[in-house]
Amino acid sequence: MGNLQKAMNIILKLKKTNLDVKTYSNILQLCAESKALNYGKKVHNLICLDSVDIDYVLGSKLVFMYVSCGDLEQGRRVFDMFCDNVVKDNVFLWNFLMNGYVKIGEFNECLCLFERMMVLSVAPDSYTFSCVFKCLGLVGDGVVRLGDMVHGCVVKLGFGFDSSVVNSMIAWYFKCGNVDGARKMFGGLRERDVVSWNSMISGYVVCGFAEKGFGIFVEMICDEVSVDLTTMVNVVVACANMGDVKLGRSVHGFAVKGGFGKEMKFENTLCDMYSKCGDMDAAMKVFENMDERSVISWTSMIAGYAREGQSDEAIGLFLDMKKERVKPDTFTVTSILHACASNGSLEKGKEVHSYIRDNQIESLAVSNALMDMYAKCGNMDESYSVFSQMPFRDIVSWNTMIGGFSKNCLPSEALDLFIEMQGEVKPDHVTMTCILPACASLASLNKGREIHGYILRNGLFSDQYIINALIDMYVKCGGLFLAKSLFDLTVAKNLVTWTVMIAGYAIVGLGHEAVSTFKQMLDKGINPNEASFTSILYACGHSGLLQEGWKFYNMMVNDFKIEPKLEHYSCMVDLLSRAGKLSEAYKFINTISAKIKPDATIWGALLCGCRFHRDVQLAEKVAERIFELEPENTGYYILLANIYAEVEKWEEVKTLRGRIRKNTECSWIEIKGKVNIFVAGDKDNPEAKRIEALLEKMRMEMRQDGFSNKIKYGLVNENDMGKKGVICGHSEALAIGFGILKLPPGRTIRVTKNLRVCGDCHEIAKFISKDLERQIVLRDSNRFHHFKDGFCSCRG
């Protein structure tokens, strides 16, 4: 740089330069080597002022200077001025410009320059073709035909056996997914260098053929070809993709013997391989023995711990990373956010969010990971705040928010966002699997059918996840016939498909159908899992199939070697309790206590049995256990109060009422696309008076029909205890009344309640289904109740 400054100072002081072409060329070379663009421009200006004839050498130096100094646009402008005559045949300049375009991502400009080169009959060299194929690989789809044409030029001009050209062609074929084409090019090489072998190994690995990639490595060793660092990195990646930690250890040993063991790039890849194979101890050992660690080293370990569910270790490592003053990159941040999301660590997640703000780490991936973290930690307000402030949102952003709303019991918000989404981004198959559970939560059959129509119109029906989500949605919306029809039409049923259908039969009380479906699944050679057995045991319990339930329980333990979980034990207690085997159920709980601590759900199943069979003494004993485990759970206090009410122990009911902290009960019904919500004693609804009058009319008709309400349930008003003929103002009764008023005669009334259905409302629904000849589908927090002709599917 010093020589350049001296030269420029002398030249600029001269009134008239009169320098020759060679001198100008040497100065331009110095400007290019020093990246001194300003001096270069001054030299170019002097050349123009001196009216110097620009020949082949000077023209080339001008282009070279501008491109070397980063002004590709001006370099191209100078090149175009002299291209047709002065510098046309300088293949170095063509290559230099094309490579410049590739470096800044202007791939189409590179290809256009090559096409112009062909039109002007400029003879390309091996570097030209290598650059073009590299560019074709980076462009992606849509250039296969052009690539084939360039391949033809390669053969025609005699470069078909040039290793550098063929290596670039191998890489391009792999990027196009043409594995056979790449293998054919490799097979035709007369002399294979290490780059050729590396191209084959990495190509196979990237295309998902890790085993074949490793096979090429074995061939390479057998042919006694010397490996390099790139070879070893690619082979370790192949081991990671295969999940073969034993093979990975062998490669690790081979690399250490070859002198690559302390290369940082290799060590980073080793950490990643061990973590992906689930051996975090080995990964940590490599990490701790590294002489130098980069951000990639730290990120590999953090991502590994997050992937293995060891979130605390990932967060601890992130804190250590900050202490070491290593600046995290985008991938580090997204990895640590996934770790926070995995263990629900909201406070740590907020700390990471603050770090992101303070260090202005902005990217689409980070914003999406932030939304996901907040959603999985249950903070949808913060999740939506991140979403609303994003300057650009992709399909992942929308799916994350919709899925977050669905999983956090905000189905209406999920549906609203789904509608808004369609104005910006076209929903994909993931969107469907996120939005269908929202329809299921609302029991919104009409919305679910609309989305089913969208799926069919947009060709998304072939996705197995969507089919399973559709069946599940129809089941939970009370459309069992539609669920069964879709199930029967599904050719490729997987375990989830069968399990969802079995669960569908279970929650509507069709135990025999559930058992039949379970047996069909076994006949098809599909082995059940924990969820499958939970569904079939639940079905047996709710249908009184005691022997079948025991049979399936023993099958799970003895034949499939599945260790029972709390939910399986709960189903068995429920099965025994409903069958009147209360003492056996109690003994069963005491027996399993040696293996696992029974939770409130298990004891609650027995308490329900006590109510059904009016065993007050056992109920009191069981209830005390439950209140120790879940003192804030209102439902169990209500259940015990109902047991007391059925035997008219009103003082005990009154005592329990004082201990109850009421949850807001609500029910809803969808009519003409609008969800109408009711709460107990609702007087604000515009139709409140008409609903009350209708229910009063039902009360009169029930009495005339011989119905006598004995106030058997403990949640009626205290002043009404002991009175006859009281119809409670519970939300489900109000929603059913609204449905009678608003839906056409004969139309099924579909109501959803957030808690268990009240016993009196259950009786009202039975009477209405008979008196008005209306089917009623009521979904509560426990199951479906299908009312028809005065009977309920729960047999209650």
Confidence (pLDDT) at 698:
84
Phi-psi group of 35: left, alpha or beta (phi > 0 → left; psi -120 to 50 → alpha; rest → beta): left
User: Using CA atoms, how far apart are residues 527 and 512, in angstroms rounded to an integer?
Assistant: 20
**At what angle are helices 179-187 and 194-206 packed, to 10 degrees?**
160
Residues 620, 594 contacting (CB under 8 angstroms): no
Residues 6+ apart with CB under 8 A from 93: 60, 63, 64, 79, 87
| pLDDT tens figures, 586-608 | 999 999 998 899 999 999 999 99
- Taking the domains of the chain in order of start, what are their residue ranges? 411-487, 493-563, 685-792
Q: What is the arithmetic mean of pLDDT over 669-698?
A: 80
Give the residue-averaged pLDDT of 35-41.
89
Lowest mean pLDDT across 18-32, 255-269, 491-505, 704-718: 704-718
DSSP state of 596: S
pLDDT at site 15: 53
Q: Which helix (H) or strand (E) covers residue 166, if one does?
A: helix 163-175
Is the pLDDT reported for residue 709 higher than 70? no
Lowest mean pLDDT segment, chosen from 293-307, 363-377, 395-409, 660-674: 660-674
The model's pLDDT over 748-774, given as tens digits with 9 standing for 90+, comes to: 999 988 888 877 788 889 989 988 889
- Beta-carbon contacts of 31 under 8 Å, excluding residues fewer than 6 positions away, are 4, 37, 39, 40, 43, 65, 69
List the structure tokens of 367: 């914003």
Q: pTM for the whole thing?
A: 0.73
Cα dist from 566 to 309, 367, 580, 623, whole Å: 22, 37, 21, 18
Among residues of the chain, what percentage have pLDDT more than 90? 49
Instruction: Please check the confidence at residue 723 and state whether its pLDDT lies above 60.
Output: no
pLDDT, residue 552, reads 97
532 is written with which tokens? 């499958």
> Which percentage of the chain shows pLDDT scores above 70?
93
- Using a 10 angstrom Cβ sphere, with 0-12 exposed, 13-18 middle and 19 or more buried, the burial of residue 247 is middle
Taking the chain, what is the end-to-end CA distance rounded to the nearest angstrom?
94
Taking the C-alpha atoms of residue 281 and residue 756, their distance in angstroms, rounded to an integer, is: 48
Query: Which pLDDT value is given to residue 658?
Result: 67
